[in-house]
Amino acid sequence: MDKPRRNFWQIVNMSVGFLGIQFGWNLQMANMSAIYEYLGARADQIPILWLAAPLTGLIVQPLIGHASDHTWGKLGRRRPYFLTGAILSSLALILMPRSGALWMAAGLLWILDASINISMEPFRAFVADILPEEQRTRGFAMQSLMIGLGAVMANVLPYLLLKFGNLKADTTGYAIPLAVRISFYVGAAAFFGAVMWTILTTKEYPPDDLEAFRKKKEKKGGLGLGEIVNAVREMPMTMRQLAPVQFLTWLGLFCMWLFFGVAVARNVLGATDAKSKLYTDGIAWGGICFAFYSGVTFVYSFFLPAIAKAVGRRRAHSLSLLCGAAGLISVAFIHDKNFLLLSMVGVGIAWASTLAMPYSILAASLPPERTGVYMGIFNFFIVTPEIIASLVFGWVMVHWLNNNRLYAVIAGGVFMIAAAIMMQFVTDPAEKKVRATEPEAVVASRRG
pLDDT tens profile 299-328: 999 899 999 999 999 999 999 999 999 999
Percent residues over pLDDT 90 in the chain: 36
Beta-bridge partner residues of 76: 73
- Please give the Cα distance from 112 to 104 (Å, whole number): 12
- Please give the Cα distance from 223 to 270 (Å, whole number): 51
Nearest to 368 by CA among 148, 17, 89, 77: 77
Q: What share of the chain is helix, strand, coil (3-state, %, to 5)?
A: 80, 0, 20
- Please give the Cα distance from 292 to 342 (Å, whole number): 9
- Please give the Cα distance from 10 to 131 (Å, whole number): 10
| pLDDT for position 445 | 43
Radius of gyration over alpha carbons of the chain, in Å?
22
- Please give the Cα distance from 323 to 321 (Å, whole number): 5
CATH topology for the 10-447 domain: Growth Hormone; Chain: A; (1.20.1250)
Q: Please say if the pLDDT value at position 224 is more than 90.
A: no
| pLDDT for position 310 | 95
Give the Å distances, CA to CA, from 394 to 51, 192, 259, 343, 345: 11, 34, 11, 25, 28
Return the higher-pLDDT residue of 224 and 274.
Answer: 274
- Give the pLDDT mean for 33-50: 81
In sign, the C-alpha dihedral spanning 391, 407, 30, 420 is: negative
Instruction: List, for residues 7-40, the tens digit of each pLDDT value.
Output: 999 999 999 999 999 899 888 877 887 888 888 8
- Please give the Cα distance from 125 to 352 (Å, whole number): 18
Q: Where are the domains of the chain?
A: 10-447
